[in-house]
Amino acid sequence: MQTDELDVLFRLAFVVLCLGVLICVYNITRPRGIYNAFVNGEEAELDLTEAEIRADEISGAFNNEKKGKQKHNKAKFGRDETSKAENSERVNQAAIEYVP
């Protein structure tokens, strides 16, 4: 009877170990950026006044649908904690130039 219980415990420990390895591999290989994070729906408003956003990569993060509005006044965008954040004027200019 004890060998069956030990067998079940070893199998359970093996499954937990495999799941732990999968989680570690996922955390190592996953993208570290912000993707499609600040997407406004139709006529939605987003206010990022004085926000500080840091990520390794920002991709497709600030998208607006019809009549969507975003404010980035005094917002700081940066790649990580060691780099200087982009100023909001440059981000706002890029948003103004992009017209879908």
pLDDT in tens, 73-91: 666 666 655 444 455 556 5
Q: How many CB atoms lie within 10 A of CB 39?
A: 14
Higher model confidence: residue 81 or residue 11? 11
Does pLDDT of 49 surpass 50? yes
pTM for the predicted model, two decimal places: 0.39
What is the SS3 assignment for 98?
Answer: coil
- What does the DSSP assignment read for 10-74? HHHHHHHHHHHHHHHHHHHHS--SEES-EEE-TT-EEE-TT-EEE-S-EES-EEE-TT-EEE-TT
Does pLDDT of 96 surpass 70? no
User: What is the pLDDT of the chain when averaged over all its residues?
Assistant: 70
DSSP state of 85: P
pLDDT of residue 85: 47
